[in-house]
Amino acid sequence: MKNLILSTLACGMFYSSAFAQQDGAIDDVGDIAFVAWSASNQDGYAFVLLDDCPNGTSIKFIDEEWTGTSFYSSNGEGENTWTNNTGSTIDKGVVIIIENADNNPTCNIGSVTESDAGFDIASSSADQIFAIVGSRSSPTFLAMIGHVSLPNNGSGAVQTLSGTGLTSGVTAVHQTGESLYDGSTTCNSNVTACLQMINNSGNWSGLTSSITFPSDVDTLFDGSVLPVTLTSFTCTRDDDCTYLYWTTAMEINNAGFELQRRSSVTDWRVLNFIPGIGNSNSLQNYYYIDHHNEDTEVYLYRLKQMDYDGCFTYSSIIKSNSVYLEDQQQVNCWIDKSNLTVQSTEQIILRITLYNSLGQCNKVLEPYALYCNYELSSENGRVLYVLVELSNRREMFKLLYQPDG
C-alpha cells in the first residue's frame, strides 16, 4: 500500500526515467494528464494528478505554440496559474476542473488566476494548452492537449512537441476539438500504462448536447497505481491518554501499521503494531489508545505503514499537546460507515458545510455544540470536503465516503 503522504521510501519504485516519477511532487513530465477541454460555451479544461501535489504547488497552463526551443511569445496569448492553497497535499488521482479560463477563472479545488489576458481555446481553428512548472522562459513540461504539431501559421508560429520531453499518446493527447476523456478511471498496472490509457485519443469523445463540460468530467481516478489510502490520521487528548484514529480507503499488500511516538525526552519509539487488512478497496477504520501520557508533556505520533514485501512508508506527524496547553484545543472529523462525526475540544461548532469534489455545497449544518453526528447518503458523493467553522477559525477536512451497495 502506498500512503498518501510519503516522507521515507524504503523500497524503490522504478519507472521510465523520462517521465512518471512518483516522488510526492508535481515536477516531472507526466505528473498530470489532461482529461477534458472545452471551447464553446466557456473556455475550460480538467486534469488529473498522477502524483501527490503538496500545498503551495503552482502549475501554469499556457495557450501558446511551442516552436521547439521556446514559446512563440512571452505573453502573446493567455496563461492560467493554478495553485494548491488548500493547506494540505492533494492526493494523486484527484481531478482538478478549471472553468471560465478566459474570464475570472474558477476551479473545484485550490485557486486559479489568469495573466496575460487572452486565454482563448479556439473552437474553429487549431489550438493547444501546455501545462508546465517554472516559467515560459524556463519551463518543465508536464502535459499537453490539442494539436501536437502544426506548420507555420503565417506569422512565424510553429507548433511542435520537440524539445518538451512530451510524447504524443503518452504524455500529450492529440485533440482537434473540444472533448473529454471517457475511458477507464482505474489504473492498475503502472504509471506509464495509465498515461498511455488517458492520452489515447481513442478513449476520448467530442462534446455534444449529451456529453458536456464540466458535468460529465470524472472527478477521481483510482487503482493500485493511484491508491487513495490513508485518508485521515488524528488524535484527541484526555488526561493521561491519547486516542489515535486513522482511516484507509484502499489497502494493497498491507501488513499493518507500526505506531511510533516521540516526546521532548525520548526519540521515536514503537508503541505497538496494528495489523492491516491486507487487501481492501473499502473504508477501514483503526484506533489505538496510548495510556502512558504525562500531563505536562507534548507527544508526536506517526505511522510506519509496512507491506508484506518489506517496503514501508511514514505518514505525516500529528501532535498531542499537554492537557495544560491552550493550543491542545482542536477539531476532529471522521466517517464511520455512513456516519460523519465532527468533534471540537475547543469552542462550540457554529457551522459545518459539506462540499462535493466539484466544490458544490450539498449540506449545511448548524449544530451549536461541541459534537455533531450526521448520516451521509450517496448524494453527498465519494469525495467529501467538510468545512468546520468555530467562532475564531475555520478548518477544512477531506474525507472519502463509500456508500453501502
The backbone region for 100, taken as left when phi is positive above 0, alpha when psi lies in -120 to 50, beta otherwise, is: left
Cell of 359: 466544490
Scanning the structure block, which residue is given the C-alpha cell 504509471? Answer: 191
| CA 190, 191, 195, 198 torsion-angle sign | positive
Which superfamily does 329-405 belong to?
Answer: Immunoglobulins (2.60.40.10)
| Cβ(135)–Cβ(75) below 8 Å | no
Range list of β-strands (E), 20-154: 32-38, 44-49, 58-62, 79-83, 95-99, 106-107, 111-115, 128-134, 139-146
Structure-derived torsion over alpha carbons of residues 222, 53, 134, 71, reported in degrees to the nearest 10: 20
Q: Is the pLDDT of residue 308 over 90?
A: no
Q: Which triple of cell numbers denotes residue 193?
A: 500504462
Residue type at 395 in one-letter notation: E
Residues 119, 102 contacting (CB under 8 angstroms): yes
Q: 13: which DSSP letter? A: -
- The type of residue at 27 is D
**H/E element, 196:** helix 191-198
Residues 331 and 236: their CA atoms lie apart, in Å, by 9
Tell me the average pLDDT across 95-111. Answer: 89
Looking at per-residue pLDDT, the higher value among 370 and 183 belongs to 183
pLDDT of residue 362: 82
What pLDDT shows up at residue 15?
29
* Identical fold, 229-328 and 329-405: yes
Radius of gyration of the chain (CA): 23
pLDDT digits 0-9 by tens, 187-213: 877 888 999 999 999 999 999 888 889
Give the CA angle between residues 264, 315, 254 to the nearest 5°: 130
pLDDT reading at 258 higher than 50:
yes
Say which residue the cell 495557450 belongs to.
63
**CATH fit for domain 229-328, picks 2.60.40.10, 3.90.1150.10, 3.30.420.10, 1.10.274.100:** 2.60.40.10
292: left (phi over 0), alpha (psi -120 to 50) or beta: beta
- In eight-state DSSP terms, residue 91 is P
Q: What is the pLDDT of residue 23?
A: 74
Min mean pLDDT across 63-72, 129-138, 305-314 is at: 305-314
Helix (H, G, I), strand (E, B) or coil at 209: coil
**Are 23 and 15 spatial neighbours (Cβ–Cβ below 8 Å)?**
no
pLDDT tens digits, 216-248: 898 878 776 765 467 778 887 776 788 888 888
Domain boundaries, the chain: 32-206, 229-328, 329-405
Q: Check whether the bond before 214 is cis (ω within 30° of 0).
A: yes
